[in-house]
């Protein structure tokens, strides 16, 4: 596995491809939306393997113009946080520790900022693998956010 590296606009097509492999858990986005998310991100890092970009994470600070209702939920309750908007690993690279390496980097960045990390995990449709992954990385449930056909568990990891 290559070292963590900052993401750039050149990565957007591959990021969308990896994101698509994680649906429905990652949430569908276009290349334009992914590029906009990248521009809003406080922390945008990727990991490569021999085939190229194999995983990435995008995190936002509070009070950006990002329109996600899940992000808004945290903004209404917390003044400081590092919000994991998406973390995704290519199908062929899963179970190789890339997700954990990305989350370790997120946790280290949040510690430098002296703020908690926030994220959500889908309850409807359920995503038990993501629930286990977040629990292993020190996240605790702080609420449930219900929307029409979807529901998510709101999570926080304090430093």
- Domain with 86, as residue range(s), is 5-157
Say whether the peptide bond before residue 125 is cis (omega within 30 degrees of 0): yes
pLDDT of residue 65: 94
* Tokens representing residue 36 in the block: 């906009």
Tally the domains of the chain: 1
pLDDT of residue 148: 81
Q: What is the pLDDT of residues 100-119, one digit of tens each?
A: 999 999 999 999 999 999 99
- The CATH code of the domain that includes 35 is 3.40.630.30
**Residue 110 three-state SS:** helix
* Tokens representing residue 60 in the block: 């936002």
**Residue 155 three-state SS:** strand
List of residues 6+ apart from 22 with CB closer than 8 A: 86, 88, 89
Q: What is the pLDDT of residues 35-91, one digit of tens each?
A: 999 999 999 999 998 888 999 999 999 999 998 999 999 999 999 999 999 999 998
Is 56:15 a contact under the CB 8 Å cutoff? yes
């Amino acid at each position: 596995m290559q070292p963590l590296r900052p993401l750039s606009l050149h990565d957007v097509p591959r990021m969308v491809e990896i994101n698509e492999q994680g649906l429905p858990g990652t949430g569908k986005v276009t290349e334009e939306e992914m590029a906009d998310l990248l521009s809003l991100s406080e922390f945008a890092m990727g990991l490569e393997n021999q085939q190229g970009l194999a995983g990435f994470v995008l995190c936002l600070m509070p009070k950006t113009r990002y329109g996600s209702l899940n992000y808004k939920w945290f903004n209404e309750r917390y003044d400081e946080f590092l919000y994991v908007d998406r973390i995704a690993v290519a199908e062929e690279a899963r179970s190789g520790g890339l997700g954990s390496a990305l989350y370790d980097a997120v946790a280290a960045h949040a510690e430098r900022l002296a703020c908690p990390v926030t994220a959500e995990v889908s309850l409807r449709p359920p995503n038990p693998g993501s629930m286990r992954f977040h629990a292993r990385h020190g996240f605790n449930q702080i609420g449930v956010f219900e929307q029409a056909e979807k529901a998510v568990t709101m999570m926080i990891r304090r430093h």
